Amino acid sequence: MPEGKIIKALSGFYYVLTAENEVIQCRGRGVFRKNKVTPLVGDEVVFQAENDQEGYILEIGKRKNELVRPPIANVDQAILVFSAVEPDFSPALLDRFLVLVEFNGIRPIICVTKLDLATSDERKTIEQYKEDYESAGYQVLLTSSETEDGVEQLIPLLESKISVFAGQSGVGKSSLLNVLRPDLSIKTDDISSHLGRGKHTTRHVELIHVGAGLVADTPGFSSLDFTDIEAEDLNYCFPDIEQKSENCKFRACLHIKEPKCAVKDAVEAGEIPQYRYDHYKQFLQEIKDRKPRY
């Protein structure tokens, strides 16, 4: 039986990319509906071709991860796109995205856009954030879609991977993809100065070839709430905090009131930025305040 990867889902049809680089339009078998399984973009599937254009999906391979929105599976990395200005760079929102991506077992890459619009002081601030996040273990790219500076750094990172571009609305995700693949001409809307954010211009999830990789341009996460994350999980979603926590006196240390906490010592010593620790505490409180699910 032929195998392939779903690269687009639209109106009950699944478009499967084969090893021969052909795209076959498939429907899902009724058994998937019966078992409440929905094929997702990114799924590795076995299908039966009725002819060279149509077929049925018979099996869905084991997923290494899946996101609810965007509805996509087997994501290797998330390019978290944040602008330096318009809208202003938000480390609190970035840390929220980073936690969700880390929790889903997806490698994050931070990409700061619109550097051409930043003043010299704003640029210095961004450079400091870059240093902080690189010290925490993240890869940070500084780019401008307008001047195309730094965008070429993305091409080798996309090779042989499924990547999602995610981030706050209006930061220039589509503009970035248009530089990477000018033939796409993805629709972009100007930022509404009244709202201070862009309008959603991306409608459905589709994997597109960019360089030697596959990329999903998505409207981003439907929810930035920590619905599935438990208090003891949060530590692992902050690599800089997790690394220091190995030296805490108590193994289940939450780094709030516990004595001999290596994380609090690292914050005092300036080894972990205060704002990262503040966000950790804020997120932990959100998780603790969450209504229990039954």
Residue 79 pLDDT exceeds 50: yes
- Closest by Cα among 33, 32, 39 to 16: 39
pLDDT band at 190 (very low <50, low <70, confident <90, very high): very low
User: Domain 3-61 is classified in which CATH homologous superfamily?
Assistant: Nucleic acid-binding proteins (2.40.50.140)
Give bridge partners of residue 53 from the DSSP assignment. none
Q: Which residues contact 82 (CB under 8 A, 6 or more apart)?
A: 89, 90, 93, 94, 110, 111, 112, 113, 167, 168, 171
How confident is residue 192, by pLDDT bands cut at 50, 70 and 90? very low
Q: Give CA–CA dist 229/251, Å, rounded.
A: 19
Asked if residue 87 has a cis previous peptide bond (ω within 30° of 0), the answer is yes
Structure pTM?
Answer: 0.88
**pLDDT of amino acid 36:** 87
List CB contacts of 110: < 8 A, sequence separation 6 or more: 80, 82, 94, 98, 133, 138, 139, 140, 141
Q: Where are the domains of the chain?
A: 3-61, 72-217, 231-289
CATH number at 231-289: 1.10.40.50
Summarised one tens digit per residue, pLDDT across range 108-124 is 999 999 999 999 999 99
**CATH code of domain 72-217:** 3.40.50.300
pLDDT digits (tens, 9 = 90+) for 151-175: 999 999 999 999 998 888 788 888 8
pLDDT band at 220 (very low <50, low <70, confident <90, very high): low
Structure tokens at 200: 């959603």
The two three-digit tokens of residue 64, written as one number: 């290494």
